[in-house]
Amino acid sequence: MTTRGDHGDATTVDTGLARLTAELHWRRRNPSAGPTAEATRKQHAKDKLTAEERLDLLFDKGSFQEIEPLRRHRATGFGLEDRRPDGDGVVTGWGTVHGNRVFAYAHDFRVFAGTLGEAHAAKVHKVMDMAATAGAPLVSLNDGAGARIQEGVTALAGYGGIFARNVALSGVVPQISVILGPCAGGSAYSPALTDFVFMVRGSSQMFLTGPDVIETVTGERISQEDLGGAVAHAHTSGVAGFAVDSERACLADVRQLLSLLPANNRQLPPVVPSADPPDRRTDALLELVPDSPRQTYDVCEVIETIVDDGEFLEIHENWAANAVCALARLDGHVVGIVANQPSVLAGVLDIAASEKCARFVSICDSFNIPLVTLVDVPGFLPGVAQEHGGIIRHGAKLLYAYGNATVPRISLVLRKAYGGAYIVMDSRALGADLSFAWPSNEIAVMGPEGAANVVFRRQIAAAEDPQEARDRLVRQYRTELMHPYYAAERGLIDNVIDPGETRHVLIRSLAVLREKHRRLPERKHGNVPL
């Protein structure tokens, strides 16, 4: 190594820096008690990638910057004295996804089975704090066996620090949890506190108590996959918003989701140029949606027809399928779409659908994503199980989410909108900025048959031909109180539009609402009907 003396001449000095730098690079290549080749082989044998391979797929090539790679746990005994691997079983750092900064941590199952100890937790806390400071999304790649038993209560305290930060970051930066292996016990609560959860079919499991404990306590026998696999959580529990077939496809979907989200709650979602004309007519909708309110159709085809290039990302596709929640773009701007799905349970709202939509509306509002609601709802699902299950409370969650949202809100009645479900689906009365309807719309307290049976019960009973009287009075009720312009005449919708102009109307309406500014009453926080 050379340095310059007082007179500018080069003088050789032996500081040892070159030697120490070489030692650093050697340690990076040969971490202390790090993952063995056999551990890597076992990971790959399970069709699972290593932490580093996952991060390479998540981030733009060469952009990931690791932090604290040399942190090690303090020797605590119980077999850990001679096993102090660099990194302590978790890789943390930041990089870019589509050019935008993102922070992440990835459990390394090859080291202590990815279990969380004091040093491991400190690294996770650090990267979460950095995400908060930088105002950038946080992605967790979960593949760990829970708390490290050998470290006792300090491991549990580490989880507490993660949960507290999940809550503090909620609604501030997007948080995405990707389950790529086991995520059991207390560790499962962190994904539950985040905005989006991804799982991989066949290799992801998430549960609080495993099959062995359940069998001991309740006598029920069930496999890990059936108890807490991707299908269980994506179809039944609703914990996972996405179930994907492979890790590579899963991480590609995470990248797609990040492309639709802003960095934080102070920014707008990214806008991309669109070659899809904003005034493109959508005449195909005339054939997609039947006139008869009794006929079914797939509302996803409606969404595909309206949005840019027919592309959208559906959240919770397999859970509460009688409602659809999706992120898409209109003229390059991101929107959140909430829609009833007539092809499943006729599009009624039930407990699960109410929760699903309320959660999605809340996420969109948190991150400045305008809402478009496509309404075709016959009401709430009737039944003792629904009432005793708390449909009133769960339906109120959707009311609360819409009523609390300050982003631009547009609703469009495609066909029918009956009863309380009409109000809940972002009606004008609930605060939608603009409300439109197609000429086929029917907005009423209930369907004409049910309404006629209530309103004209005595006339029908006294008629010589009750069936003929009922049919005539149903037609009368439909004509006088349910014709397509009844709500428009009373100012409950802003306009009845040509279905072929749907895309253009929505884009123009969102443009005029882009600078919307609404302030909620000053308060510590609202009391959500949990």
Domain boundaries, the chain: 50-259, 285-446+483-512, 448-481
pLDDT at residue 4, as a whole number: 46
SS3 18: helix
Residues 6+ apart with CB under 8 A from 261: 137, 174, 269, 334, 367
Phi, psi of 82 (to 5 degrees): -100, 10
Taking the C-alpha atoms of residue 287 and residue 124, their distance in angstroms, rounded to an integer, is: 53
pLDDT at residue 87, as a whole number: 72
pLDDT at residue 33, as a whole number: 57
Q: With bands split at pLDDT 50, 70 and 90, how would you rate the model's confidence at 78?
A: low
- β-partners of residue 175 are 138
Q: With bands split at pLDDT 50, 70 and 90, how would you rate the model's confidence at 517?
A: confident
Considering the candidates 34, 152, 186, 403, report the single residue annotated as catalytic. Answer: 186
Q: What is the pLDDT of residues 20-38, one digit of tens each?
A: 777 666 666 665 556 788 8
For residues 374 and 414, the answer to whether their CB atoms sit within 8 Å is yes
Equal CATH topology for 50-259 and 285-446+483-512: yes
Residues 6+ apart with CB under 8 A from 120: 73, 88, 89, 90, 148, 158
pLDDT at residue 82, as a whole number: 60
- Name the token pair of 208: 């609080």
Find, among 328, 324, 287, the residue nearest to 307 by Cα: 328
Considering the candidates 240, 421, 432, 451, report the single residue annotated as catalytic. Answer: 421
Q: What angle do CA 213, 188, 219 make, to 5 degrees?
A: 20
Confirm whether 152 is a catalytic residue.
no
What mean pLDDT is predicted for residues 62-81? 75
Q: Please say if the pLDDT value at position 275 is more than 60.
A: yes
Considering the candidates 210, 420, 431, 450, report the single residue annotated as catalytic. Answer: 420
pLDDT at residue 5, as a whole number: 45
Considering the candidates 185, 238, 403, 431, report the single residue annotated as catalytic. Answer: 185
pLDDT at residue 470, as a whole number: 82
Q: What angle do CA 144, 150, 156 make, to 5 degrees?
A: 65
Q: With bands split at pLDDT 50, 70 and 90, how would you rate the model's confidence at 304?
A: very high
Of the options 3.40.605.10, 3.10.105.10, 3.90.226.10, 3.10.20.30, the CATH number for the domain spanning 50-259: 3.90.226.10
- Name the token pair of 218: 């309740």
Lowest mean pLDDT among 83-97, 100-114, 176-190, 225-239: 83-97
- Give whole-number Cα distances, 23 to 16, 69, 233, 281, 455, in Å: 11, 15, 47, 66, 88
Confirm whether 161 is a catalytic residue.
no
More confident residue, 432 or 116: 432
Burial class (CB in 10 A: 0-12, 13-18, 19+), 343: middle
Taking the C-alpha atoms of residue 455 and residue 477, their distance in angstroms, rounded to an integer, is: 9
Would you tell me how many other CB atoms lie within 10 Å of the CB of residue 506? 26
What mean pLDDT is predicted for residues 238-249? 97
What mean pLDDT is predicted for residues 52-80? 83
What integer best gives the mean pLDDT of the chain?
A: 89
Confirm whether 185 is a catalytic residue.
yes
Confirm whether 444 is a catalytic residue.
no
Taking the C-alpha atoms of residue 274 and residue 426, their distance in angstroms, rounded to an integer, is: 28
Q: What is the pLDDT of residues 337-383, one digit of tens each?
A: 999 999 999 999 999 999 999 999 999 999 999 999 999 999 999 99
pLDDT at residue 23, as a whole number: 67
Residues 6+ apart with CB under 8 A from 418: 377, 378, 379, 442, 443, 444, 445, 446, 447
Q: Please say if the pLDDT value at position 1 is more than 60.
A: no
Q: Does domain 285-446+483-512 have CATH number 3.40.50.2020?
A: no
Q: Please say if the pLDDT value at position 81 is more than 60.
A: no
- Name the token pair of 65: 């910057």
